[in-house]
Amino acid sequence: MKYIGPKVHIDLDRLENNYNLLSKDLQNIPIMATVKANAYGHGAVEVSKRLERLGVRYLAVFTIEEGIELREAGIKTDILIYSKLNNTALNEAKKYNLTLNISSIVDLDYLRDFEGKSLRVHLKIDTGMTRLGVSHYKAETFLKEAAQISSINIEGIYSHFSTGDEGNLSYAKKQLNRFNKVVEIAKKLNIVPSLIHCSNSGAILNLPESRFNLCRVGMLLYGAFPSDEVPQDLSIEPVMTLTAPIVEIRDVKAGTPISYGGAYLTNKDTKIAVVQVGFADGVPRPWYTRGYVKFKNKKFKITGRICMDQLMIDVGSSDIELWDEVTIFGSNSNGTISINKIAKEIESTTYVIVTGIGTRPKKILRSKLKPNQG
């Protein structure tokens, strides 16, 4: 049976190029690659295998289950778990050699009772995100207590910016100042973790002084910028491209309402094509007001509200034909539609777009390497 539907193309060679560009820009400061949420929809196992082959220093996921998935796929690289400590999974963390995020005094209480040895941990400090992490003004007590627990190896200390990808960096700089003070407190207590990290993709570009000796990179690896308020000099390329086929073309008269609510009316006699992809597959519904697809480097306007499974475009008198594949976003021979542009137009983020890809699109991997080479 022939597959007729949306396809998500993952270009691992572009991932490699992006990684190499970032490594050069970071002047070889090691990278912690964030591959949580299925590597932002790109495929955690495939992405991690390629990055491991390139020598990435660390991987990071959100849940312990995500970490176990990578281990069972044969990934040997160090893996940090970002989520709140799951005290019922300490044995699994030890078994699969996963590094735990310690973000509260309560977490330390759980670790005191652990009968195993040498659980690897990174201590998280809240410098102003107000999410996970011990508040910076309680850091000294937290560090002292952590240092007394024999079952853990304090490998890292870190924090997270809340405005590192914004134009106004005053708050991010305040966070950085707070984190620097915590690092100094740790040194005075003779706690010297081998890894200190604070930069995410936005801060790498906006606040180079926050890079320390490890940088957490997510969106930049996947070929998009975290916002439109960061320098965009790096020649990264989108790793993900979404395409879909034309499944019907019909002639319509001027004044014909298109899609739900009749929000779009044709202004002349034209041809409307139905594309087999919708918001259930990851096309942001608000994009219809200004959105378009591309075919042979030509733009075709989305006409009317995007449906769950399909969307319509005005193809006019073009040579577009039934079963032709149009580009929804990404970059291929049809041209480029940047998810940064889409995110800006619909007042969303690139993160929301790439992680919104549904389960139906067929995944197609592109790689110069053989499957067993990553």
Which listed residue (7, 19, 36, 158) is catalytic? 36
Task: Decide: residue 206, CB within 10 A, 0-12 exposed, 13-18 middle, 19+ buried.
Answer: buried
Q: Is 260 a residue of the active site?
A: yes
Contact 125, 119 (CB under 8 A): no
Sequence-separated contacts (24+) of 320-325 with Cβ below 8 Å:
320/246, 320/249, 320/273, 320/295, 321/246, 321/249, 322/246, 322/247, 322/248, 322/249, 323/4, 323/245, 323/246, 323/247, 324/245, 324/246, 324/295, 325/7, 325/243, 325/244, 325/245, 325/246, 325/295
Which of 137, 260, 268, 296 is flagged as catalytic? 260
282: left (phi over 0), alpha (psi -120 to 50) or beta: left
Alpha helices in 26-63 (DSSP H): 36-41, 44-53
Amino acid 299 reads: K
**Which two tokens mark 115?**
């009968």
Q: Which of 48, 44, 37, 133 is nearest to 85 (CA)?
A: 133
Would you call 264 helix, strand, or coil by DSSP?
Answer: strand
Is residue 33 within 8 A of residue 221, CB to CB? The reply is yes
How far from 166 is each of 126, 143, 231, 346, CA to CA, in Å? 19, 31, 10, 17
CA distance 35 to 60: 6
Query: 4: buried, middle or exposed (CB in 10 Å: 19+, 13-18, 0-12)?
Result: exposed
Amino acid at 156: G
Concerning whether 137 is annotated as a catalytic residue, the answer is no
How many CB atoms neighbour CB 246 within 10 A? 21
> What dihedral do alpha carbons 22, 27, 28, 31 form, nearest 10°?
-40
Question: Catalytic amino acids?
Answer: 36, 260
